[in-house]
Structure 1
Amino acid sequence: MVFWFPILMWLAAIVAAGSAVWRMGRPIRTGFAIEQLLRYILLLPVGIMGLWGFVGHVFFAEQSAAAIGWAASPFQFEVGMANLGIGLGGMIGAFLRSRGFRLAIGVVALGFLGGAGLGHLIQIAGTGNMAAGNAGPILYTDFLTPLSIFALLLMQRFTREGTVP
């Protein structure tokens, strides 16, 4: 499940955003499409994956650690709590259209997920740890998710009143 869940959340976000844009009708407004993609990235790859990480690290610590290629650790509880905060923040940000709130979620996601991604790269280089929870899709989404939030927020800034086609 560690391998597939990040892929499924990203696919679900793209499909949900595409469906919302499709239902909107024509002509397709760039700003609306950007908003929908941002909303569903915050809801699914940030929100639901954050809650998934919380449940995994707090309630299934042994299995989570094994999937990452680690031994279980008391620090997993702290990682789980960080995941809980990020997940709840992402879910709130999906429905709260505050640019500042969404930017803050992006900063926190970059700090935590980007840092986790760097940790995965260090583990791969230092120990050859190619476990699915270390070198699989989670590695890529640790970078893709926060960078996508920043890119979409930037695009949104230039899309007001049709300034970007």
Structure 2
Amino acid sequence: MVFWFPLLSWLAAIVAAVLVLLRGPRPITFGAVVDQLLRYILLFPVGVMGLWAFLGHVFFAEQAAASIGWAPSPFQFEVGMANLGIGLAGVIGAFLRSPGFRAAVGVVAFGFLGGAGVGHLVQIAETGNMAAGNAGPILYTDFINPLAVLGLLLLQRLTRRAPAA
């Protein structure tokens, strides 16, 4: 599941955003696309994935460690708690339209997930650890999820400031 969950969360985000856009007002604007993508990326790849990682590291620590190619560690509880915070913030950010709150979620996710992604790369380089939880889709989403949030927030800001044509 550690291989598929990141991919499914992105699929859910894109499908949900498209469905909301198709059912919404016409014409579909660039700003509306950015808004919906941001909402559903916060909800699924950031929020639900964070909650999923929390559950894995806290309640299924042995399986989570094995999927990463590591031995179980007491530090998994701390990683799980960090994931809980990010997951809850992502879910809240999906419904709370505050750009400041959403930016804070993106920055915290970038710090934690980006750092985890760098850790995965180090493990690959130093030990050849190609386990699904280390070198699979989770590696990419550690970077893509927070960058997508921050990038969409920037696009949203630029779109709202752009003069009407």
With the shorter chain as reference, the TM-score category is over 0.9
Displaced runs of 4 or more, over 6 A: none
Q: Which residue does the alignment assign to 2:47?
A: 47
The alignment status of 1:5 with 2:5, answered yes or no, reads yes
Q: Which residue does the alignment assign to 2:114?
A: 114
Alpha-carbon offset, residue 158 of structure 1: 1.4
Identical residues among aligned pairs (%): 73
Write the deviation string for residues 29-53 of structure 1: whole angstroms up to 9, x where unpaired.
1111111100000000011000000
* Between 15-24 and 124-133, the greater mean CA deviation after superposition: 15-24
Indicate how the Cα distance of structure 1 residues 164 and 157 shifts in structure 2: closer, same or farther if over 3 A, else same.
farther
5 Å-filtered alignment, 1:11-160, equals: 11-160=11-160
CA root-mean-square deviation: 1.3
User: What TM-score results when the alignment is normalised by the length of structure 1?
Assistant: 0.97
**AA in 2 matched with 1:105:** V
**AA in 2 matched with 1:72:** P
Aligned residues between the structures: 165
Give SS of 1:27's match.
Answer: coil
Distance 1:83 1:161 in 2: 33
Indicate how the Cα distance of structure 1 residues 37 and 115 shifts in structure 2: closer, same or farther if over 3 A, else same.
same
Alpha-carbon offset, residue 162 of structure 1: 6.0
For structure 1, the residue ranges without an aligned partner over 5 or more in a row are: none
User: What TM-score results when the alignment is normalised by the length of structure 2?
Assistant: 0.97
Distance 2:164 2:80 in 1: 40
Alpha-carbon offset, residue 108 of structure 1: 0.3
Alpha-carbon offset, residue 164 of structure 1: 8.1
